[in-house]
Structure 1
């Protein structure tokens, strides 16, 4: 498959889509993925265990640590698929450069993103320090790719952060496809100003001087910028930072709004800051004023619409 600029493609553990690929012949279907997300994305399902021919049902496997070595074996040790999984994972992830994100199944010795149990060789004692073989290869190959476990998406802040990163990463990928130039990179940075400030104003301020010293080798520099850009977005936005951004945007309307309108917007921002209403309320009002008093700079800010409204990600906080 190839990159699609019109429709974001997301990798996903096949069991989350209801495919019966689990060791017991079952699945771990996610209704959120199947019903809420499917209209917005094209899923690319992968099951490493089925891909190496293990079949379903099959013997369950686990991560087993022996000093510096890590194996993927059945509990009784009669089945060892370490080499097959490592080889498959290495080859498969290289084919996934078109993806805009990935949703993994938790606790899996192949797909778990974190806290997978590693058992000590010859015992049933384990600690939650492992990463699934395929998940590790994926994250090492694409360190800036938004990756999450399906279970963690029930946390609304994690969910909103994940999809904010997915749409930003896709936006970057589209720009890269058309060819990165200094002008495009500066314009990209400008559009993301307030979104970056909401996530980490401290780190946003460090990007300005970096861009000011942009070298001639734009390809190499763009990757440095991307690493810092995605790292900032991975920091969860706070109510305090959101409030500061909303007040910055409010300043663009001070010459246009009546006294009553200014008070209304200030009250909405204050109520959001106090936790009395979701951020969608002041942002909706700002978008309303933008239609009355257009400002190209503010209209272009990704912060106001970082993801489709139909995903319902700004109702919770």
Structure 2
């Protein structure tokens, strides 16, 4: 039996109902096409750091180098809470032989453009690992490049 490749993935992309509105963003490409070859390691920074489902939508604010994650309506800043949790989670992930990370497009915690709080910390901790969002993986050429880096 061959060992499957471990890739960190945003939990909503696997169909978990963890989004701010109680929904998910299940991605069939990840779940059905890549799923048989991958051992997914799920993460939802917002829920995993203790925020409820449903919850108030959030956004990134401030200087791109030092952004904050803030609730849209109330203005509550969740940055410190998320960063404390992320430090612990990243340490746990360091022992799992991860080969990459697929994150949720446009998420203030785990998106790529702009870079979410958790994704930024992940990239800082694991600069050699490929990171891509699910939107860009729909492009066959970008998907192939990502998979080549995962296998390298």
Q: Same fold (TM over 0.5)?
A: yes
1:83 aligns with one of 80, 85, 89: 80
Aligned counterparts of 1:76 and 1:58: Cα–Cα separation in 2: 11
> Taking structure 1 as reference, are residues 150 and 71 closer, same or farther at Cα in structure 2, changes over 3 Å only?
same
Aligned to 2:120: 136
Asked if residue 155 in structure 1 is aligned to residue 139 in structure 2, the reply is yes
Deviation at 1:75, TM superposition (A): 1.7
> Taking structure 1 as reference, are residues 154 and 68 closer, same or farther at Cα in structure 2, changes over 3 Å only?
closer
> Taking structure 1 as reference, are residues 68 and 48 closer, same or farther at Cα in structure 2, changes over 3 Å only?
closer
1:26 aligns with one of 23, 26, 30: 23
> For structure 1, which runs of at least 5 residues remain unmatched after alignment?
117-130, 169-317
The structure in which a higher percent of residues are helix is 1
Asked if residue 9 in structure 1 is aligned to residue 9 in structure 2, the reply is no
- Rg comparison, structure with higher value: 1
User: What's the secondary structure of 2:67's corresponding residue?
Assistant: strand
Aligned counterparts of 1:67 and 1:138: Cα–Cα separation in 2: 16
Further displaced range: 72-81 or 144-153 = 72-81
User: What's the secondary structure of 1:139's corresponding residue?
Assistant: helix
> For structure 2, which runs of at least 5 residues remain unmatched after alignment?
none
Aligned to 2:41: 44
Aligned counterparts of 2:11 and 2:140: Cα–Cα separation in 1: 23
> Taking structure 1 as reference, are residues 35 and 77 closer, same or farther at Cα in structure 2, changes over 3 Å only?
same
User: What's the secondary structure of 1:95's corresponding residue?
Assistant: helix
* TM-score, normalised by the number of residues in structure 2: 0.92
Map Cα deviations across residues 103-129 of structure 1 (whole Å, 9 max, x no partner). 10011010012x22xxxxxxxxxxxxx
* Aligned Cα root-mean-square deviation (Å): 1.7
User: What's the secondary structure of 2:129's corresponding residue?
Assistant: coil
- What is the correspondence of 1:164-183 to structure 2 with a 5 Å cutoff? 164-168=148-152
Deviation at 1:66, TM superposition (A): 6.1
Aligned counterparts of 1:136 and 1:68: Cα–Cα separation in 2: 10
The structure in which a higher percent of residues are strand is 2
Deviation at 1:70, TM superposition (A): 2.6
**Greater RCO (CA < 8 Å, at least 6 residues apart):** 2
Aligned to 2:100: 101
- What is the correspondence of 1:110-149 to structure 2 with a 5 Å cutoff? 110-113=109-112, 115-116=113-114, 131-149=115-133
